[in-house]
Structure 1
Amino acid sequence: MTTETTSRAADVEAIRRLVATVEHSQRNKDPEEFLGLFHPDALWTTAHGKVLLGLDAIAEFTREVLPAADWDGEVTYEVVHTLFIRPDVAAVKVRQRYLAPGEESEGAPLYVVAKQDDGRWLLTACQNTAVIAR
């Protein structure tokens, strides 16, 4: 295994852990944990098309909506594909599922993540998309 391959594998694992932390913050309805995953200049588009520019706007929305979320049951986030645009920027396709007795909904977020100078990967440009069953 080359140094580059080892480095890429470590980045893929770090991105998987980032998405796992998104899942954890959503399951626990924890806005502060969730907000700690964003670049200060991030942009976020919600599943319903609300555009949030910068961490302040994302924080205001998240602190209002996440603790009040009405889902009960399991929330899962699964990385289904990672495309490295450059060594420090990746597009990450995620399968998001909300499972409760008798109901299920799904989302298909796309996260563009950027590796920081300290090695952390942060959410930078994200689009959440609701999946409509056909």
Structure 2
Amino acid sequence: MNTETADIKAIEQVVATVERTQRARDAEGFLALFHPDALWTTGHGKVLIGLDAIAEFTRAVLPTANWDGEVTYEVVHTQFLRPDVAAVKVRQVYHSAEGDTEGAPLYVMTKQDDETWLLHACQNTEVRAD
């Protein structure tokens, strides 16, 4: 397996862990995916700078998140900006009895010295049906 293929698989694993931790409402598992200097913009435009701010928000919101269905995440495109930096486009779908709603997150991920990929700069955007 070449390096890029291994990195794509590792990135897909991070996104799969985002899905798993969101479904489980596991704030600590989710937070473990972030670089300490991360920047996160929520689907409603709240800007969170640094892991402390992301953690405060996530610990307050995720454990009590209220959606009546399942959420799925799928990597739809990975663009390597450098060998250790990737822009990852994700399709996020909340499935519910009232119908699906979709998000289109963009994750800029960085590869650490230990070969781990972390979320570094992320923007979650709601996809409108109109």
**TM-score, with structure 1 as normaliser:** 0.95
Which residue of structure 1 aligns with residue 52 of structure 2?
A: 56
Query: Which of 70, 74, 77 is the aligned partner of 2:73?
Result: 77
Query: Which of 12, 27, 30 is the aligned partner of 1:31?
Result: 27
Which residue of structure 1 aligns with residue 37 of structure 2?
A: 41
Which structure has the larger Rg over C-alpha atoms?
A: 1
Moved more, 63-72 or 111-120: 63-72
Q: Tell me by how many angstroms 1:74 deviates.
A: 1.2
Which runs of no fewer than 5 residues in structure 2 stay unpaired?
A: none
SS at match of 1:18: helix
Which runs of no fewer than 5 residues in structure 1 stay unpaired?
A: none
Which residue of structure 2 aligns with residue 87 of structure 1?
A: 83
- The list of structure 1 runs, each at least 4 consecutive aligned residues, that deviate by more than 4 angstroms after superposition, is none
Which residue of structure 1 aligns with residue 10 of structure 2?
A: 14
Q: Tell me by how many angstroms 1:72 deviates.
A: 2.0
Identity %: 69
1:119 partner letter: E
SS at match of 1:66: helix
Which residue of structure 2 aligns with residue 118 of structure 1?
A: 114
Which residue of structure 1 aligns with residue 61 of structure 2?
A: 65
1:54 partner letter: G
Q: Could you tell me how far apart the structure 1 residues matched to 2:90 and 2:100 are?
A: 16
1:30-49 deviations in Å (ceiling 9; x for gaps):
00000000000000000111
SS at match of 2:72: strand
Q: Tell me by how many angstroms 1:100 deviates.
A: 1.2
**TM-score, with structure 2 as normaliser:** 0.98
Q: Tell me by how many angstroms 1:102 deviates.
A: 2.7
Instruction: Work out whether 1:106 is the aligned partner of 2:105.
Output: no
Cα RMSD (Å) of the superposition? 0.8
User: How many positions carry a matched residue from both structures?
Assistant: 130
